[in-house]
Structure formats: C-alpha cells, structure tokens
Amino acid sequence: MDILPDFSGPQNASETDAVILAAGDFPTHPIPLGLLARAAEGRIICCDGAADRLLREGFTPLAVVGDGDSISPEARRRLSDCLHIESEQDTNDLSKAVRYAVSQGMRRLTILGATGRREDHTLGNISLLADYQARGLDVEMWTDYGVFTPATGCQTFASRAGQQFSVFCLDDAPLTLRDVRWPLEGRRITRWWQATLNEALTDTFRVETRGRIIVFRTYITL
Amino acid sequence: MDILPDFSGPQNASETDAVILAAGDFPTHPIPLGLLARAAEGRIICCDGAADRLLREGFTPLAVVGDGDSISPEARRRLSDCLHIESEQDTNDLSKAVRYAVSQGMRRLTILGATGRREDHTLGNISLLADYQARGLDVEMWTDYGVFTPATGCQTFASRAGQQFSVFCLDDAPLTLRDVRWPLEGRRITRWWQATLNEALTDTFRVETRGRIIVFRTYITL
C-alpha cells in the first residue's frame, strides 16, 4: 500500500480557488486533510452542517453557507460575520456553497467531506460534479479513498501503474478506455458497476466518450 | 429523531433466507445489527473481507465466500469448514456471495455492510441490486442510514409520515411518484440527484416506472 503524495490530476490542488467542505464525513486521510490545511488562509467555504467540526479542528472559514439550521448557537456567534443563510429548498447545501463561490469569482473548486453518512446524499453529491462541470467550473471531489473528477469528450488522466480507478457513465453513450488493465472500445455501459475496478498501467490513461462521466481514482497502489 | 423499529418494507426482514455481510463498513445502527443477530443461527453468508470482523463480533457464518486474500490465517483456520474460495475476477465478492446463496436455494436476501469505505465499491454494490432483482431475487440492502430496494413497474412502499426517501433511476424512463411531499408525473430523471430527498406523507407511497430504479428510505423521521 502506497499513498500518492504527489498525486496530480487535471486540477492541481495548489491552484484551487477554494476548498468547499460539505457536511458528510470530515476527512481523516492525509491527502484531503492536506488540501484543507493549504486552503486555511481564507479559502475554505463551509456548508453550515460542517461548521462546528471545522471550528473544532482549528480552521476558520471564509464563508459558511446553508439554511442555518445545522449550526450551534456558539458557532453561529463566532461565525456571524461570514454566515450566508440561504433557505431555499431547490438545491442542497453543497450546491449553495458552490453558488456562493461562483458569486465570488471562484471557478476552480476542491470539494471535501461530501461522502459518508446518508448514502443518498453521497450519490447526489457525486452526480452534482457533472452539473458543476457543465457550468464551466473546474471541480474535483476528494474523499478519504480517492478523487472524483467529472469529464466528457477525450481526456487524459494522471495515474500510476497499479492505481485502481472506476468510471461512472451518466448518459447512454459508448465509452472507450485506453492504456488500462481492462480496455474498452466504444462499450455501452448501462450499469453503474460495469466500468468499475479497473487499473492504470502507466502514468496516464485515456478516456473517450460523448456522454457525461465521473472518474474515480484511488489513492492506493498495489 | 425517531428510529423505526417496526420498519417493514416489501421484504419482511424476519422472512429473509440469508443475511449477506459485505466488506464495507460493519453495521453500527441497531436496525442492521438486529437483522444480523436474527440471522445468527446459520443464515449469515459472509464476504471474506468481512470474516475477521464478524468473528470478533461473536458471530459464526454459514459460509465465507471470496478469493480468500482478505482473511487472516487465524480466521481461515477457524472457518475452514465453510470457506468457499472463488478466485475468478469477473464478479465482485458481494456477487460471489449472492451466487453462493442462490446455489443453496436461497432467494430472499438481506445485504449488510455493503456501503462505506471506497465510494466506487459503494456505488457498484448499490447498482448490483437491480441485477439481482432481474434474476428474480428478493433483495434489500440495509445500511446505517436506511434501506435500498430495487424496483420496476408499479410498486407501493411502506413509509411513515415525514420519512425521507430518494429514488435513483438506472434507465431513461419516465418516473411517477404519488402520495409524497414532492410528487412527480412521468418525469424524465437524467441526474442521480434529481429524485432525491423526497418525503413520505403517510404510511405508503407509490412509485411507477418502466425502467429500473433503486429506492432508498431513511430510518429517521423528522
């Protein structure tokens, strides 16, 4: 088992405009924790359900966004200067935080804490990456196990030999995978599991599709 | 917050033929733990990655299924009589355990421990429910937060007023939801999040679609 400390995807983490912390499991893996620490100086936007934990961990957010129901009176007092209440119910707190970031001119976003706890929230949050990309944002979601990246068209992904990855297709469009353990050539993927648990052979792999996909790369190599 | 101790879905848990324990997060919620306890007398089938933990928790499986790589020498010795090694790589350990159950004449299956840890495994496991249903199995997946049930056609789900639920569409077929907070009438769902975070109004709700769907009902009411 080998953690990838110099993991570099299409988005280089040091160039992110903001880290958005959602209210799922707070990160415990060194990679997402490192991304959070590097954003500590005024680049953390926090969903209100994650605000108390963020404060307990010693961070101060640039902004806290949400309906304000999930924050303690103590945290609310400490964060009153940066609390942005949005009570409309058509979007979830993650999307409200993304919208706030965009309103501040930010478009390169690193999402943390968006998986774990209720699985329907996890699924919803992962799929929202495709919507954010369609709006022109450069966005990735880093969990305790790997990184989710939305994509479409032809794209090269950074990898390491032996690194595991999965591809999830959101549309019924053929998928091609090259330079991987189990290549695909124009294959229709109609089940979420059908393009999972593949493996990179070298320092990049290629993905081609006309549809929307979400690629997950693990931190761990064999 | 109110746990649903008499939660009854399309499959009544006491009538299950076997509980299948996968190698994700071991259950901590009283509902899946109760299902595991009720199956303790010879009805637990365990993926090999979960065998050590199952033994530590004081349970003895009917069978352990998998490639045998994820089990300690000590557990392997204790479980040698019920260890079924399947090393083919075309299906994951959950599907191997389901296949074993079917080979024993079981078709009403309760899956536990299939979410948590690597998110691509979680997504794959959830989507496999639709495949198991297509093979005629009566299967549900119980997590620490709720229960996933595959469905198609017209179906009535048990619920409570205020209970949250989500629907995930695996095909591009219109979805109708009735007797719910936010009803849908023949709506095309092209994003995983689009039919999430709905709410039951009474003790049942109705779902209609020609496609494959997976319904998630939370344990928690407001």
Give pLDDT tens digits for B150-171.
999 999 999 999 999 999 999 9
> What is the model's pLDDT at position A10?
39
Please tell me what DSSP assigns to residue A219: S
A117 in contact with chain B, both atoms CB, cutoff 8 A: yes
Which of A124, A148, A166 minimises the CB distance to B193? A124
Q: Mean per-residue pLDDT for B168-189?
A: 97
pLDDT over 80 (residue A5): no
Q: Is A182 on the interface with B (CB under 8 A)?
A: no
Kindly list the distances between the CA atom of residue B89 and the CA atoms of A196, B45, B86, in Å, as whole numbers in the listed order. 12, 19, 9
- CA dist., res. A138 & res. A157, Å (int): 14
Query: Are the C-beta atoms of A92 and A124 separated by less than 8 Å?
Result: yes
Cα A199 to the center of its chain, rounded Å: 20
- The CB density around residue B186, as the number of other CB atoms within 10 Å, is 10
Task: Give the torsion sign (CA, A149, B123, A184, B67).
Answer: positive
Q: What are the structural domain ranges in chain B?
A: 13-144, 149-218
Average pLDDT of the segment spanning B119-135: 98
Residue A44's pLDDT is 98
Q: Are the C-beta atoms of A197 and A180 separated by less than 8 Å? A: no
DSSP state of A52: H
Q: Six-digit token pair at B14?
A: 């006491």
Q: Where are the alpha helices (DSSP H) in B46-155?
A: 51-56, 73-78, 93-103, 119-134
Provide CB contacts within 8 A for A56, sequence distance 6+. none
Question: Can you tell me the mean pLDDT for A160-186?
Answer: 96
Closest to A7 (Cα-Cα) out of A214, A178, A163, A151: A163
What are the tens digits of pLDDT across the range A9-57? 434 455 899 999 999 999 999 999 999 999 999 999 999 999 999 999 9
The reply to whether residue B123 touches residue A196, judged by beta carbons under 8 angstroms, is: yes
Q: Please state which of the ranges A129-138, A159-168, A175-184, B12-21 shows the lowest mean pLDDT.
A: B12-21
Residue B13 has pLDDT above 70, yes or no: no
Q: Are A132 and A98 in contact (CB under 8 A)?
A: yes
Give the closest-approach CA distance of B67 to chain A in angstroms.
Answer: 15
Give the mean pLDDT of A162-182: 96
Q: Of all helices (H) and strands (E), which one includes residue A38? A: helix A30-38
**CATH among 1.10.3720.10, 2.60.120.320, 3.40.50.720, 3.40.1210.10 for A149-218:** 2.60.120.320
Contact A192 B170 (CB under 8 A): yes
Given a cut of 90, is residue B2 above it in pLDDT?
A: no
Kindly report the average pLDDT of chain B as a whole number. Answer: 92
Contact with chain B for residue A219, Cβ under 8 A: no
Pairwise CB contact (< 8 Å): A122 & B122:
yes
Partner residue opposite A145 with nearest CB, options B92, B118, B170: B118
pLDDT in tens, A176-195: 999 999 999 999 999 999 99
Q: What is the pLDDT averaged over residues A142-151? A: 98
Min Cα distance A195 → chain B (Å) is 9
Instruction: Give B48-71 pLDDT, tens digit per residue.
Output: 999 999 999 999 999 999 988 899
Q: How many CB atoms lie within 10 A of CB A163?
A: 25
- The Cα B25–Cα A90 span in angstroms is 31
- Rounded Cα distance between B46 and B55, Å, is 10
Residue B3 pLDDT more than 50?
no
Please check whether residue B28 touches A, CB under 8 A. Answer: no
* Alpha helices for A59-114 (secondary structure H): 73-78, 93-103
Judge whether residue A160 has pLDDT over 90.
Answer: yes
- Sequential DSSP letters for B82-102: GEEE---SSS-HHHHHHHHHH
Mean pLDDT of all residues in B27-43: 96
Look over chain A and give the mean of its residue pLDDT values, rounded to a whole number.
92
Q: Which of A119, A145, A182, A216 to mutate to test the interface with B (most CBs of B within 10 A)?
A: A119
Could you identify the residue written with the tokens 């689009």? B194
Touching check for A146 and chain B: CB below 8 Å?
yes
Q: What residue type is A20 in one-letter code?
A: I
Total Cβ atoms within 10 A of residue A134: 11
Cα–Cα distance, B71 to B48 (Å, whole number): 6
A90 vs B: CB within 8 A: no
Residue B194 has a pLDDT of 95
Mean pLDDT of A119-130: 98
- Taking only residues 125 to 144 of chain A, the set having a beta carbon closer than 8 angstroms to any beta carbon of chain B reads 125-128, 130-131, 143
CB-based contact B16:B108 (threshold 8 Å): yes
Q: Which fold has domain A13-144?
A: Rossmann fold (3.40.50)
Tokens of B44: 């637990």
Given a cut of 70, is residue A75 above it in pLDDT?
Answer: yes
Helix (H) or strand (E) holding A122: helix A119-134
Contact status of B88 with chain A (Cβ, < 8 Å): no
Q: Is the pLDDT of residue B5 over 80?
A: no
Whether residue A1 is predicted with pLDDT greater than 90 in this model: the reply is no
pLDDT at A74 over 80: yes
Q: Which residues of A touch B215 (CB under 8 A)?
A: none
Q: For residue B14, what pLDDT is reported? A: 58
User: In this structure, are residues A112 and A21 in contact, taking their beta carbons and an 8 Å threshold?
Assistant: yes
Using alpha carbons, select from A69, A51, A74, A71 the residue that is nearest to residue A61. Answer: A51
ipTM of the complex: 0.93
